[in-house]
Amino acid sequence: MKKDIDEIREITAALAAAEEAGELPRMATEGIHAGFPSPAQDYMSGVIDLNRELVRHPEATFYGRVVGDSMRDAGVVEGDVLVIDKALEPREGDMVVCCLDGEFALKRISFTGKEATGARRAAKQPVSYNILGRRDIWLFSANPKYKPIHVEEGNDFTIWGTVTYIIKKVK
């Protein structure tokens, strides 16, 4: 056990030195065990490029920092960094960044009702998905103090993108 702790300390020191030098951290190829500790040094390999790992559509992806507590019960808290992909059409239950009547929001999206006959599109760019013409749209928080929002015909509504990853600071 003492040997494992010493190895973990060595790895932590190496990661800190690489970060100071502007190098990317090394990647644990065998995964990180969340149970019994194992000698991690045996599983370390080359560097990891987080953009390559987290971004599927580079031209359509941006990052955003969370402000507020409306998604706290989904594990998303103030200060988290979101990876948001504008190229993905949102599906039922996806977490999306949207703009509703001039206010930005992070919500889970839901579609109800029958398919609409006329296409309803976002009033503004950057994104206008076909889903906006298909069904009623509801936006849900993950905090009981916020009520669900029904997106109505008269609302100025734009989906900016679908959240694909959440990056958290743990210390």
Is residue 3 part of the annotated active site? The answer reads no
Is residue 124 part of the annotated active site? The answer reads no
Give the residue carrying structure tokens 């502007």. Answer: 22
140, 148 Cβ separation under 8 angstroms: yes
Q: How far apart are CA 171 and CA 122, in angstroms?
A: 39
Residue 46 neighbours by CB distance under 10 Å: 9
Q: Is 106 left (phi over 0), alpha (psi -120 to 50) or beta?
A: beta
Catalytic residue from among 70, 114, 169, 171: 70
Catalytic residue from among 107, 110, 141, 168: 107
Which active-site residues does the annotation give? 70, 107
